[in-house]
Amino acid sequence: MKRFSQLAIPYIVWAVMMLVLPMALIAMYSFTEQGNSIISFAFTLDHYVKFFTDPDFLLILWRSLLIAVKTTVICLLLGYPLAYFIANSSEKMQNLLVLCITIPTWINALVRTYAWIGLLSEGGLLQQILSFFGLGGKELLYTEGAVLLGMVYNFLPFMILQINTSLCKMDHSLLQASADLGAKPAQTFLRVTFPLSLPGVINGITLVFLPAVSSFFIPKLLGGGQYFLVGNLIENQFITVGEWNFGSAISMIMAIIMMLMMMAVRKIENHNRGGKEE
């Protein structure tokens, strides 16, 4: 046991240097005034007050949460049927379909998002297809729809893979028992399949919502700077404006929102497990 504890020391050191220390620095910046020196230790809550009293910043936060919810809902509606189809396919077909789902993730997300600029731009492939059906003339790029499309495209595989894993681990004898007891396919799905797949659904929602709410390069590229989200606001404060203290405060606010989200998800997951045990 002691030997295993010693082997964990390098990972603990790495976690402290790469996770704990940066978060501690961000927290310190968020509660300090910006002075002539790199770090001023004058304690203040002005940066948090500034964020929550400015309607423009609150609008950006609301817009970010809203598009993250939209992205999560669309990914769930698209991902569950696809995951269900993959889970009910033959083993060979499952491997092939999972490979098709994961292949796009091998390419850098920035490169994949850039590809959508060419597809959505004026004279692009999608514009030509819409023009063929008499629906041309509509602006596709630099809109909320383009940002939403980019997010769904980038985060959909996370939802599919989580739900598919949960469905594949399910005890299929329960489905046979449900059918033997006279339950219809729809009843079996609602009362057996879906409840057993909830851990995968919850994990998928977490893996989609958290990066979607803090994304900055997708709205920057597909929104053209016209669709500003919290991630863009944080980037702007650090790189363009140079207000590290205010940018750190916004980062801490988003970190707290994400932690609350994860705690809620964990609570729901524990409740479901408790219900099953009973």
- In DSSP notation, the chain reads -HHHHHHTHHHHHHHIIIIIHHHHHHHHHHTB---SSS----B--HHHHHHHH-HHHHHHHHHHHHHHHHHHHHHHHHHHHHHHHHHTS-HHHHHHHHHHHHGGGGS-HHHHHHHHHHHHSTTSHHHHHHHHTT-TT---SSSHHHHHHHHHHHHHHHHHHHHHHHHHTS-THHHHHHHHTT--HHHHIIIIIHHHHHHHHHHHHHHHHHHHHH--HHHHHHSTTSS--HHHHHHIIIIII--HHHHHHHHHHHHHHHHHHHHHHHHHHHHHHHHHH-
Any idea which architecture 64-107+142-277 has in CATH? Orthogonal Bundle (1.10)
pLDDT in tens, 52-78: 999 999 999 999 999 999 999 999 999
Give pLDDT < 70 ranges for the chain.
Answer: 1-5, 34-41, 136-137, 272-278
Per-residue pLDDT tens over the stretch 140-193:
888 888 999 999 999 999 999 999 999 988 887 888 888 878 888 888 888 888
Q: What is residue 278's predicted lDDT score, i.e. its pLDDT? A: 37
Q: 43 forms bridges with which residues in the sheet? A: 32
Could you tell me if 114 and 218 are in contact, meaning their C-beta atoms sit under 8 angstroms apart? no
Q: Where are the domains of the chain?
A: 64-107+142-277
What's the pTM value of the predicted model, to 2 decimals?
Answer: 0.85
Q: Report phi then psi at 32, rounded to 5.
A: -125, 160
Distance from C-alpha of 155 to C-alpha of 133, rounded to nearest angstrom = 29
